[in-house]
A and B are shown apart, each in its own frame.
Chain A
């Protein structure tokens, strides 16, 4: 597969771009924040995104989706990254739908995928328990008792957890914390008893919740089919690649805004973009973005073609984009000078999203370390 978009994918990207520029520009995020919107996103825009088919990009036609694969979803995420659109695209489409695609039983798929494709369901993937992404640290337990599982434990950083209709919960059916064996996924309705959800507003104005499960009982049919730890790693790998695509959009937008400012802002009687000290830093950012584009499209293709080195390439993509977006969002503020520190100018929104996206599913250090391990050192 060539590392370029085909016509269909390019058209999808264009239409998502137009849509988000109109319906969910950065000013919309500012408004959600300033009006203290209880959902943290705009439900009417979400409904329109579903109508456009964005909620079904990674769902097969059999279940009412568009079957555009992850290259398709990646384009939507990239464009959402450009306008910093707050929506359940990551929590629901990227993470939960992926989990159901990979590990759902046939009845679970038949029940949930059409609803997800329609945009009728908001789902959250509840996995983290520590301050940093850690796939093996699962202390939450699921105990089988007759026809029911009982869930106990606390999850943190559950994206959109306060608005989720259902959770995919990572819990342990056997073994000790940090064992790779004994981890399983469960579908849990958010209105079951014993669930306490605390909304946490993040730096990027989006929401992640702390969710506590205390003797939460669910039917045993809600257990999913996670056959091994590698399945879980695959969900995280796809998640990390999707986030990298979103981060690529943010990096490009932040960079373009900064270049425009370098051409516009005058000091000493000339545009500050004529200073070589800034030009070389701008050129280096350009190079990092070009490199980032390559690793993102390569990684998205690797999902769709089912490459067996997905974990490795996911670390490559997430680490690179973590580094690029950190650089570009920092430089964005520095090169905007004083106004870069003000809330009036949009450039500051990028550094906030950058930092949250960085921590989601493993930061730069995490992926560097993992890549080294996968490479045998």
Chain B
């Protein structure tokens, strides 16, 4: 026990020194927007020399994905070592060297369901930032009812022939490959005819069209597949067992959108409101807004405590399956609540969507974008369904 503690203390010291020496100054500080991070992929380039240096150094160290096995290009760190590295990076405010759906969303599925050969190939490309991934789950007619998806993969001997479309593909126009749920059997219960397939976006017949959102941005595409040939070895896991993988991954996605482990709060709602509305004798000038703000702040504080408790319970081996739906639901509702409060506080000023005074509508755009949080990754209503059925055991009709 003592030698382990000694080792971890030593590891923390070394890590801290190494980060201090190797993380360029411009690669430290708050990440205001994930767009400023390096995303990797065939078409992307580094936005600065420092960004490149930081990526290379972390890559040489194996710390692009520190907790993956070394044979897949990871750092082979134990969970405790990984935690220490994350803590030290947070402490020194080091930015992530690579932002990648490959790491956060596809990786966990590959590790659990892929063959050794697939792992060696795809995981390595993620770590090397060679391939930028996107996710193809939702379809125009399969949103909340995801298992009703229709994009077809027909067995043509040595390949599958794909026809259909996906929607809400995050950054689909910049991605190299897409991991998809496809329909491989129409004769069985809908969940039992779905497979998990990897598709090169360069294949003939693939087209990604950006969708413009109410915030003015277009973070998503609708992605069309017209007679696309996909080699059979791109299937992950067993044929028609894709739903199991999807459910596993959705748990990860919910945690990400719900904000677990992310320093999601880029600014303090309180500060914005107090600035905008002002205090009189130490009390906010708007008593109704004050109630909304304090309710929100309390919810936020308790939400953080709940994350802390969930982590402690997981460490203690208490399985709380509730967690991901709860966090997705409450985390996104909180984010929406914060933006509503900020918009109320800002009044007419924050309605401007352009111009220097509002940093080009920074708040207005965030407000509009926040409306997507309670929809993407499974709507709030779907999360409540999951809780009532899977946790409370309430009957279906």
- A residues neighboring B (CB under 8 Å): 2-4, 259, 262-263, 270-271, 273-276, 278-280, 282-284, 286-287, 290-295, 297-298, 316, 319-320, 368-369, 371-373, 375-377
B25 in contact (CB, < 8 A): no
Pick the contact of B309 from A4, A279, A280, A316 — CB < 8 Å? Answer: A4
B387 in contact (CB, < 8 A): yes
Show 19 residue pairs from A and B whose CB-CB distance is below 8 angstroms, ordered by the A residue. A2-B312, A4-B309, A4-B312, A4-B318, A259-B392, A263-B395, A274-B395, A280-B384, A283-B388, A286-B388, A286-B392, A293-B309, A295-B302, A298-B309, A316-B302, A372-B284, A373-B282, A376-B282, A377-B290
Pick the contact of A273 from B273, B282, B329, B395 — CB < 8 Å? Answer: B395
Q: How far is the CA of A162 from the CA of B316 in the complex (A)?
A: 45
Please name all residues of chain A whose beta carbon is closer than 8 Å to the beta carbon of B239 when the two chains form the complex.
none
Looking at the assembled complex, report how far the CB atom of B270 sits from the nearest CB atom of chain A, in whole angstroms: 7
Interface bits B283-313 vs A (CB < 8 Å: 1, else 0): 1100000110111011101110110110011
B8 in contact (CB, < 8 A): no
Q: How far is the CA of A46 from the CA of B298 in the complex (A)?
A: 36
Find the A residue at minimum CB distance from B394: A273
Please name all residues of chain A whose beta carbon is closer than 8 Å to the beta carbon of B309 when the two chains form the complex.
3-4, 293-294, 297-298
Judge whether B270 and A375 touch: CB under 8 Å.
Answer: yes
The count of residues in chain B whose C-beta lies closer than 8 Å to any C-beta of chain A is: 45
Please name all residues of chain B whose beta carbon is closer than 8 Å to the beta carbon of A290 when the two chains form the complex.
306, 322, 326
Q: How far is the CA of A104 from the CA of B298 in the complex (A)?
A: 34
B residues 364-385 near A (Cβ < 8 Å) are 381, 383-385
Find the B residue at minimum CB distance from A275: B397
B142 in contact (CB, < 8 A): no
Please name all residues of chain B whose beta carbon is closer than 8 Å to the beta carbon of A276 when the two chains form the complex.
385
Judge whether B316 and A274 touch: CB under 8 Å.
Answer: no
- B residues neighboring A (CB under 8 Å): 270, 273-274, 279, 282-284, 290-291, 293-295, 297-299, 301-303, 305-306, 308-309, 312-313, 315-316, 318, 322, 326, 329-330, 381, 383-385, 387-389, 391-397
Judge whether A377 and B326 touch: CB under 8 Å.
Answer: no
Inter-chain pairs besides A274-B394, A286-B326, A295-B301, 13 sampled, C-beta below 8 Å: A3-B313, A262-B394, A263-B393, A271-B394, A274-B396, A279-B389, A279-B394, A280-B388, A291-B330, A293-B309, A316-B302, A376-B270, A376-B282
Q: How far is the CA of A13 from the CA of B27 in the complex (A)?
A: 49
Find the A residue at minimum CB distance from B391: A286
Q: How far is the CA of A263 from the CA of B394 in the complex (A)?
A: 6
Please name all residues of chain A whose beta carbon is closer than 8 Å to the beta carbon of B273 when the two chains form the complex.
377
A371-B294 in contact given A287-B387, A320-B302, A377-B274 (Cβ < 8 Å): yes
Please name all residues of chain B whose beta carbon is closer than 8 Å to the beta carbon of A263 when the two chains form the complex.
393-395
Please name all residues of chain A whose beta carbon is closer than 8 Å to the beta carbon of B397 when the two chains form the complex.
270, 274-275
Looking at the assembled complex, report how far the CB atom of B178 sits from the nearest CB atom of chain A, in whole angstroms: 32
